[in-house]
Amino acid sequence: MHGAYKVPYASRGSILGATEATALGQLLESGESLSMGTWRERFERRFSEYAGTRYALSVTSGTVALELAVHLLDLAPGDEVVVTPQTFQATVQPLLDRQVRVRFCDIDRESLNMDPAVLKGLINDRTRAILLVHYGGWPAEMDEIVTMARERGILVVEDCAHALGARYDGRRPGSLGDIGCFSFHSSKNITTLGEGGMLTFDRDDWAERIDRLRSNEVDGVFVDGSASPLDAPELLPWMKYSSSVYRDACLGVRRSGTNATLSEAACVVGLHQLDRLESLVERRRAIAARLNAVVDRHPHARAGRPRPGVHHAQHLYTCFVSGPRGTREALVRGLDARGVEVQLRYFPLHLLPEWRSRGHEPGECPVAEELWFTEHVNLPCHPGLSDEQVDHLADALDAALEDARAVIENAESRTGSRTTVPSMKETSHAAH
């Protein structure tokens, strides 16, 4: 099916309205700076209070947040970093061109988060950091992972791009490891006009480093005309000419930085989006509960649920269908034919060409591979869906799961026995 789906996958993950429009209009008409004002600080303060960290520093995207987080790790050649393969490329991309060994850690079958038991076997004395994602908004098993990391002085970076609004035993993602990275892209749980990101952590020295890095690495103080770099002898003739004019005109730059600061317009919208966050996430959770109830009626389908104390933000809705070859395809085709847009998020990263060319291969993360190639489906689940769309989605899922069951029953009647999913070898070949 092409073009207009009755139930589209999210192009916007949030709802914006009159409060954002009014605040933005006032800022535009005020004539104030759109780059340097008070909104950024207010947005960051609110965000750090929400996340439960000493610092929240805004940047221009989630990708930039992850790049700067990796910068803070001070990785050296030969160091090792353990990462999850079940995430968007941006989580691991900052490691691509560093001389570090990347180890992909297989995932848990229910949550699709990094499996702590597998992680344990991948850690050694060269491991410097763990980069994980709270897949779909379901917080990873942070108690186990952080305990393991702390014992060995390993830093934990949380990619929280999906997890804004989630809770983990009363705490918020972004405060559970050492560094949290958030995204405010249009598709995420809240947005700052389409692009934006945030870093969260507790360390003073990191706050100073990120603040410099994101604003061209300037010292932040004007260099006195009598001090370096204006005291260079070759500049003396100019300085004598009218030195008092130059005195406050030179900002010292320490090393290469970048400009990754978030605009005032983005921050004022972000502040209002935080007010909406709870109701946005409640809507996501209500849609997910509705879909879970449908999945539960079908023995060949399943959808994972977090343990008590773990609160899913439902950035994504994920379910699984198992059966012989063709079962998942029947579900996807059945949904598509009924006007539901389906996505498979995400293709296991270690099988992408950029990681294959660096020596990674099928079989490295058997669970991530098996689930993605045979069982895994993501359905629309976002607050922009109307009640009618959610009704349609639930009915379409029910009917498409019946389509999938027909494939299983056909196979069983042909072979006269129960069939199983294709072997790992077969699914590995499908990746080539």
Which of 14, 84, 113, 183 contacts ligand PLP by CB under 6 A?
183
The residues, any chain, with a CB within 8 Å of residue 13's CB and separated by 6 or more, are 186, 187, 188, 189, 190, 191, 315, 382, 383, 384
Q: Judged by CB, which is closer to ligand PLP: 100, or 164?
A: 164
Asked whether the beta carbons of 51 and 277 are under 8 A apart, the reply is: no
Tell me how far apart the alpha carbons of residues 413 and 149 are, in angstroms, rounded to a whole number.
51
**47 interacts with ligand PLP by CB under 6 A:** no
The residues, any chain, with a CB within 8 Å of residue 410's CB and separated by 6 or more, are none
Which of 161, 198, 294, 385 contacts ligand PLP by CB under 6 A?
161
The residues, any chain, with a CB within 8 Å of residue 279's CB and separated by 6 or more, are 383
Shortest distance in whole angstroms from residue 243 CB to ligand PLP: 45
Residue 58 pairs with which residues in a beta bridge?
198
Shortest distance in whole angstroms from residue 345 CB to ligand PLP: 8
Q: How many residues does the chain have?
A: 432
Shortest distance in whole angstroms from residue 163 CB to ligand PLP: 9
Query: Interface mask (CB under 6 A) for ligand PLP, residues 274-313, using x and -?
Result: ----------------------------------------
Q: Quick count: other Cβ atoms within 10 Å of Cβ 283?
A: 18
Q: Read off the amino acid at residue 373.
A: F
Please work out the total of residues on this chain that contact ligand PLP, with binding judged by CB under 6 A.
14
Asked whether the beta carbons of 89 and 349 are under 8 A apart, the reply is: yes
Shortest distance in whole angstroms from residue 316 CB to ligand PLP: 9
Residue with tokens 């779909």: 136
Shortest distance in whole angstroms from residue 47 CB to ligand PLP: 15
Q: Quick count: other Cβ atoms within 10 Å of Cβ 406?
A: 12
**84 interacts with ligand PLP by CB under 6 A:** no
Look up 120 and say whether it is catalytic.
Answer: no
**200 interacts with ligand PLP by CB under 6 A:** no
Which of 73, 107, 133, 193 contacts ligand PLP by CB under 6 A?
133
Active site residues: 188
Site residues for ligand PLP per CB under 6 A? 61-63, 87-88, 90-91, 133, 159, 161-162, 183, 185, 197
